[in-house]
Amino acid sequence: MNKWVVLLVSIALVVIAINFFLRGNMEKSKLVASSVQTATFAGGCFWCVEPSFQKISGVVKVVVGYEGGTGDNPTYQDYAQKGHIEVVQVAFDPTITSYHKLLDIFWRQIDPTDAGGQFVDRGPQYRSVIFYHNDEQKRMAQESKDSLEQSKRFDKPIVTEILPASHFYSAEEYHQDYHTKNPLRYRYYRYNSGRDAFLTKAWANSADIMPKKPSDGELKAKLTPMQYYVTQSNGTEPAFKNEYWNNEKPGIYVDIVSGEPLFSSLDKFESGTGWPSFTKPLEPDNIVEKEDNTLFTSRTEVQSKLAHSHLGHVFNDGPAPTGLRYCMNSAALRFVGVEDLDKEGLGRYKTLFSK
């Protein structure tokens, strides 16, 4: 046989084999895609609900977002006003994990007796809901809820709603996988939100899904020596030789460790001390004041509520209207400019700078 004929036949056989291989993989991909189902749950702050589902074998993808309202294209700034709820949408393979398993994970993350929100997050946008995508999910959700009610695990009635799924809107990218993008801030928030304390009491075996407070080693790895000295050892940085004493940009100041909002540039003034000074906190609930009798005098120390970071001191020699001077250490703060508020999840404060 002519060698060219042999070559052509060989090429043809290879092409046929490749086609069979590609066709088989395409059919396999279609089969896998068709087997993936969707589940949607609302359990308060979606940052806290997302991680536990991601750990489950058979879960293909978890996306946080908004659902249940009437307004189109909600954002983090207006989803509550449009009637939406914070949710997680879970894509899962039922041949590997069951919807029943997902329901079990869901119940172990929430307080199903709270109709006014979840833990520290209050309001209807944080209430617990199971959004079903078909009649079978509706039936299983109702049976699961009834079973939990009958177990008498909780002293109060189970108020978690079971509603038909509606249009799901994916949340902004900075909200996706927040626990991995901002691990220390997430863990501080969750640790102090009240969620873990409740779950520990309600579920003896829930500890594996709950983050622990960051260790001293983790803090040392994250913070600069000066930041660690100030926040963890009640230190004081040098006057006039710190990052924000003369910062005049518009924005807010958050805790360097936890990211909790503390002060606004709108309340910042030049005190002449060489440290950033403010007339009042942006979020008074994020501030803790304690008596400080060190240095042979009585002062009022200021700490952040969640991270317990030492921030500085407050004095009664400030300007009007408060007459107070919150004298802070730059090393305990992180400045977020107005232009970055949205991507930091702090867009709700933008209106302060548009007046």
Give the whole-angstrom CA distance, residue 279 versus residue 318: 7
- DSSP helix/strand/coil, 104: helix
Q: What is the DSSP letter of 73?
A: S
Give the whole-angstrom CA distance, residue 93 versus residue 32: 8
Q: Encoding tokens for residue 213?
A: 């407070």
Ranges of beta strands (E only) in the chain are 37-43, 59-67, 85-92, 117-118, 121-122, 128-132, 161-164, 169-170, 251-255, 261-264, 268-269, 277-278, 287-292, 299-304, 310-315, 325-328, 333-337
Q: What is the DSSP letter of 273?
A: S
Kindly tell me the sign of the dihedral angle through the C-alpha atoms of 142, 144, 150, 153: negative
Q: Does 48 qualify as catalytic in the annotation?
A: no
Number of other residues whose CB lies within 10 A of the CB of residue 241: 9
Give the whole-angstrom CA distance, residue 187 versus residue 203: 20
Give the whole-angstrom CA distance, residue 66 versus residue 87: 6
Q: Does 45 qualify as catalytic in the annotation?
A: yes
- Beta-bridge mates of residue 264: 252
Which entry of 327, 328, 331, 336 is annotated as an active-site residue? 327
Q: Give CA angle at 180 (231, 196), nearest 5°.
A: 70
- Beta-bridge mates of residue 53: none
* CB-CB contact of 139 with 32 (8 Å): no
Which entry of 45, 48, 64, 210 is annotated as an active-site residue? 45
Q: How far is CA 261 from CA 174, 252, 284, 307, 312, in A?
A: 17, 7, 10, 12, 15
Residues annotated as part of the active site: 45, 327
